[in-house]
Chains A and B, each alone.
Chain A
Amino acid sequence: MSMPYLSVKNLSREFKAQGRTVRAVDNVSFDIPVGTTFSLVGESGCGKTTLARVIAGLDKPSAGSMLFGAPLDGRVHRTQMIFQDPYASLNPRWRVGDAIAEPITFQNLRLRTDVKQRVEDLLARVGLSAADTAKFPHEFSGGQRQRVSIARALAGEPSFLVCDEPTSALDVSVQAQILNLLKRLEKEEGLTSLFISHNLAVVRFVSSMIGVMYLGRLVEVAPTAELFAAPRHPYTQLLLEAIPRIGQGRRAVSLPAGELPSPLAPPPGCTFHPRCPAAMDICRREAPALRTLDNGVLVACHAVSSGGQPVRFMPGAAHPASSFPLS
């Protein structure tokens, strides 16, 4: 079991809105082992972006702690981030070469004479050319801008990389290029990463561990294969069921109706109970804590037992990859 590179304990982030307090991130705890990619997945309003910003250091938590351990090979701990919007993540008035050079010069990572070469090397590594140094962001496509952002992030020589929905704004074929690139670079650089997405298929591709968030809380944390094979939490099952299947034709989707409640007025107890087929009395009163099951998976649900077989709560045909029976 690798040492955790990042250990998050009881992290919360509150905002004041319309006279009320919104807990965008509610008492979240998890560990990221060194050299791995951990994904946070969830729908809008689940708090994954807020959490990512707090972990990256762009925002302060209201409560709880975050502890970074030792990076690989005794490197210096540095965090870098790739952002969602390729059009807002580069300064439109700066040449791309200058934007990539800035982390290098500001942090004194290279001698002044070596900076130009380093920038060109980074551009080559992300699949762009040295001639692109003098161009402005508007001369690039969305996918190319993300490559520039990746080059800029690498220029900062990070040991920890936070990726906030880096491909959500990109077309599918460009997404494939960027995801492949990220995966390769993370391996080559030995980075520990936190990957944020709403797309479970993308998350399956990039990460070794997945945390599912709902309205600011972590409801399930499991290794990727385990999450997809046997999702424990009813919300995870709902998400997996809702993913459109490709190549299997029409499918009757009979998921429970209902949508995300407003974060300003979350339901009492377990925030998922209004949509949960397995809701019991206790679910309406008491929010379940994140417990460790016998196999190491973390789940926050009253209906899930610590040992034994996973139970299917959501109706619908079983997911092709899942092996457990309909209850």
Chain B
Amino acid sequence: MIMTTLNVTTQAAAPLLSVRHLRVQIPTRHGPLTALDDVSFDIARGEILGFVGESGAGKSITGMAVLGLLDPPAHIAAGDIIFDGQPIHKLSASQMRKLRGRRIGAIFQDPLLSLNPLLTVGDQLTETMRTHLPMTRDEARERAIEWLRQVGIPSPAERVDAYPHQFSGGMRQRIVIALALCAEPDLVIADEPTTALDVSVQAQVLELLRTQCRERGTAVLLVTHDMGVISENADRVAVMYAGHIAETGPVDQIVNRPRHPYTRGLMGSIPPADQDVLWLQQIDGAMPRLSARPTGCPFHPRCKHATEQCVSTRPLPHPEGVALVACWHPQGLAVEGVAA
């Protein structure tokens, strides 16, 4: 496939989504809390960008910000979100609504929240399609049945008139994928799409998402806490920590040769399924709460390599080989300065 040349084409073509220096704040009576601070990344057309981090890191908020679905009083305090050349962060609610569904789709963790329990799945699909695309009712119904078949629902012609509660969890999530893709968006924000599913179903659903998006050239912002999901599905990865992006790069690089101490610690914390270890590598402490973010590099209180510079000045992302790393002391280089 086009995978190996993707990097080249990415650099040449303008990115589909460009987020620059995004800052999201939540005002409280003690002053504003900064949920996202100076977050910048790009997604190329047709690319799957994985956004990985632990709870509170800000990965879901990033997805919500792009979708224009931030829960008030959280708001975008600074930065730009540019979608297909147009800034979208200042659009009105009705303009964002037009954009969602047609150009940007969404898949959330809980299918019960994404699906209307009172409408049949067919109705939900046809309604979404006819809102954004020109087609007659009959055409839409045909397309809906075809979508159900594409996402692997058995007997789609009959099931198109069933209600969401009549499907199992995995089936519902497949329908949600169909719903997100049926208006043929250019970008899909998938926020923990398989976290609520059993592991045996998870693999199937992720494969479906991946193949469907590949076929249509739809880009995906895949938000998850699960490194395994990222490793098997993403093209590039951004690792989030405490409202900042610690490291961005091709998936192979980030997973196998991470440079940022947090990413390295994170990879070491994951219990390996394929070997026996006596102890897991652990990062002491916990991610700071929104109200207690440290100065300088947010990871410095937990970092073995922290220096005074790390305490006083926040490192900006800079290129290290094919990756962008926000760290004063990136780890893991072999002697010659070649990526390990």
Contact = CB atoms under 8 A, between A and B. Distances in A.
The reply to whether chain A is a binding partner of chain B is yes
B286 A141 contact: yes
Nearest to A261: B168
A244 B232 contact: yes
A255 B273 contact: no
Contacts of B271: 176, 179, 199, 201-202, 204-205
A264 to B, nearest CB: 13
Contacts of B270: 172, 176, 201, 246
A320 interface: yes
Interface stretch (B69-77, B99-107, B250-258): B250-258
A239 interface: yes
A243 B201 contact: no
Given A242-B202, A253-B204, A143 B286 contact: yes
B269 A253 contact: no
B175 to A, nearest CB: 14
Contact of B200 (A179, A255, A320, A321): A255
Contacts of A240: 273
Interface stretch (B117-125, B184-192, B221-229): B221-229
Contact of B277 (A172, A200, A205, A245): A205
B198 A246 contact: no
B114 to A, nearest CB: 18
B313 interface: no
A44 B198 contact: yes
Contact of A259 (B55, B169, B251, B267): B169
* Interface size bracket, B side: 35 or more
Interface in B211-243: 225-229, 231-233
B325 to A, nearest CB: 19
B211 to A, nearest CB: 10
Nearest to B252: A249
A175 B286 CA distance: 11
B158 interface: no
A247 B225 contact: no
B308 interface: no
Contacts of B88: none
Q: Which of B271, B272, B276 has most chain A Cβ within 10 Å?
A: B271
Interface string B161-188: 0000000111100000000000000000
B291 interface: no
B96 interface: no
B275 A321 contact: yes
B203 A255 contact: yes
A193 to B, nearest CB: 16
A199 B226 CA distance: 12
Given A171-B54, A246-B231, A176 B199 contact: no
B295 interface: no
Contacts of B266: 172-173
A319 interface: yes
A257 B152 contact: yes
Contact of B274 (A242, A249, A259, A320): A320
A260 B282 CA distance: 35
Contacts of B265: 173
Interface string A165-196: 00000011111110110010000000000000
B287 interface: yes
Given A180-B282, A250-B232, A259-B169, A242 B199 contact: yes
A177 B201 CA distance: 28
Contacts of A44: 198
Nearest to A202: B271
B95 interface: no
Contacts of A173: 54, 265-266, 269, 282-283, 286-287
Interface of B: 54-55, 152, 168-171, 198-204, 207, 225-229, 231-233, 251-252, 255-256, 265-277, 279-284, 286-287, 289
Interface of A: 43-44, 141, 143-144, 171-177, 179-180, 183, 198-202, 204-205, 224-225, 228, 238-253, 255, 257, 259-260, 262, 319-321
Q: Which 9 A-B pairs have the closest CB atoms?
A: A244-B228, A176-B269, A171-B54, A43-B198, A201-B273, A176-B280, A205-B271, A201-B271, A176-B282
